[in-house]
Amino acid sequence: METLNALQSRRNVRTYQDRPIPNQDLETILEAGRRSPSSRNEQRWDFIVCTDRNQLTRLSEVWRGASFVATSAATIALIIPAADEARVRESIHYDLGQVTMAMMLAAVDLGVGSGHTAVADQVLARDVLGHPENMVCAWLVALGYPAGRPLAPIKTPNRRDFEQVVHWDSW
């Protein structure tokens, strides 16, 4: 799929077919994340990939909005260093936004849908994922083939109008 097609086709997908994603495709999605740009190229992230159904079910309890993780084919946990300073946290999360989008676009290119979720219960997340105490699980990116309509370019996305959003030269 062309990049612009992938951009237009990505949407939040939270219901998945009961069908595994080949490891090679998962690696392509992870590689897209690994290649993402980051502040000073610090790459303050690690990825934990979960495909085990019991693990996914437990992971789906980390936040009330994470239930769809239970039925995903795979979920990638984005693990970052714990940071006290708001400025550092903001910088890490900006970078993670780019990681997430890169993964989502690579996924769409492979016909794989994605949806991300926040993580509230860090104790449970650490219990399931086993990352060190000085790191936190920032977000989960759930992946799976869409159970509903397949991924295809969305002609009229639910977005504010271009003219309303874009300002040329000045406000």
Ligand X SMILES: Cc1cc2nc3c(=O)[nH]c(=O)nc-3n(C[C@H](O)[C@H](O)[C@H](O)COP(=O)(O)O)c2cc1C
Site residues (vs ligand X, CB under 6 A) = 11-12, 65
- Contact in structure between 80 and 123 (CB atoms under 8 Å): no
Determine the Cα–Cα distance for residues 153 and 14; give it in Å rounded to an integer. Answer: 18
CB of 158 to ligand X, least distance (A): 6
Q: Does residue 111 come out as left (phi exceeding 0), alpha (psi in the -120 to 50 range) or beta?
A: left
Do 137 and 125 touch, CB atoms closer than 8 A? Answer: yes
Query: Would you say 11 or 44 has its CB closer to ligand X?
Result: 11
For residue 63, the minimal CB distance to ligand X (Å) is: 9
Min dist CB 122 to ligand X, Å, is: 18
- If the CB atoms of residues 65 and 148 are measured against ligand X, the closer one turns out to be 65
Block residue for tokens 């084919």: 73
Task: Count CA atoms closer than 13 A to 151's CA, side-chain side.
Answer: 28
- Give the residue with the Cβ less far from ligand X, 51 or 111: 111
Least distance from ligand X to the Cβ atom of residue 12, Å: 4
For ligand X, the closer CB: 12 or 54: 12
Distance of closest approach, residue 14 Cβ to ligand X, in angstroms: 9
Residues 6+ apart with CB under 8 A from 100: 33, 78, 116, 139, 141
Six-digit token string for 104: 């989502």
State both tokens at 58. Answer: 């437990």
φ, ψ dihedrals at 99, nearest 5°: -60, -45
Q: With respect to ligand X, which residue has the nearer C-beta, 12 or 15?
A: 12
